[in-house]
Amino acid sequence: MSRHKIVAAAAVCAGIAFCATSCGSRPPAYSGPPVYAAPESFLVDPGTGTYYVSNVNPGSAKNNGYITTLDKDLRVLKHKFVEGGRDGVVLNDPKGLAIVGDALWVADLTVVRAFNKTTGKPTANVSLEEFGAVFLNDVAAGPDGVIFVSDTQANTVFRIDTKNENAVSVFAEGDALNNPNGLYWDADEKVLYVACWNGGTILTVDAEGAIGTFMANAERFAHLDGIDRDEAGNFFVSDYSKNVVYRITPDRQVEALPLTLKTPADISLDRANGRLLIPQFAANAVTTFALGASE
């Protein structure tokens, strides 16, 4: 049996349809319209096991982005758990996701929005326009309620203190950031890792905002998107243009995971289940890959 599992609109239903009679209180298999529309970020809440997928839903319509929820078995809980244009929600271009307490934070063009992770109701809208925001991309949970937000086009990483009235500051900026995309905060090192869209680089930004280089490989890396790290110290980095996810070992060896992908975007780890969560933007699908010592 394949060690990875494709979860697209049809597979969400068909792959586990047997549970309708054998799994008690599980919700019925999803049978609505296609689930995903340019999924950009795929995240699990470690406290509840609920998965969240942000959907850009590109097209001429405005305020039509949405967030899908899945249960612990990757079955659709709610196709449009949060939906732009409904119930007072504004959501134009949802990308990176992060959970802090009861809040699900979402990067949305020039605004970072928060929703109650259980009800989906909006709880905050933090505009970064006055700070020069252009194209907010990823969100990472940092220390003590802080979140970091990358702006790929403005070459900036913002810092938002959610425990201090969502106070905004510029954490790092400048061309040296090489169009920052994916973010990962390492709590032990007190360092933010940045996967760069350009330059073939993975950077570090320390607690004082100083920029360093973790890895530079312009020949191998094209357009890096998401980044996460497991407890053994392995990094996982998606390359959107090369259709690959790399593992970078603690001794900095780079290897491609054995997956067939199309435009992997903002990946993340489900540590409790040993899964890598991979949204495939242009394929309108999400994928999980089981991580294990035998890979």
Q: How high is the pLDDT of residue 28?
A: 67
Query: Is the confidence at residue 144, as pLDDT, over 70?
Result: yes
DSSP assignment string, 274-293:
TEEEEEETTTTEEEEEE--T
pLDDT digits (tens, 9 = 90+) for 45-85: 999 999 999 999 998 789 999 999 999 999 999 999 999 99
Give the model's confidence band at 10: pLDDT under 50 very low, under 70 low, under 90 confident, else very high.
very low
Given a contact cutoff of 8 angstroms between Cβ atoms, the answer to whether 35 and 77 are in contact is: no
Nearest-5° Cα angle at 242, 93 to 14: 65
The CATH architecture of the domain made up of 4-290 is 6 Propeller (2.120)
- Which uninterrupted H or E stretch holds 21? helix 19-22
* CA dist., res. 212 & res. 163, Å (int): 28
Given a contact cutoff of 8 angstroms between Cβ atoms, the answer to whether 141 and 149 are in contact is: no
Give the model's confidence band at 232: pLDDT under 50 very low, under 70 low, under 90 confident, else very high.
very high
Helix, strand, or coil (residue 145): helix
152: its two tokens = 């790929």
Q: Lowest-confidence range among 5-9, 69-73, 115-119, 187-191?
A: 5-9
* CA dist., res. 150 & res. 167, Å (int): 16
Tell me the whole-structure pTM to 2 decimals. 0.90
pLDDT, mean of residues 235-257: 98
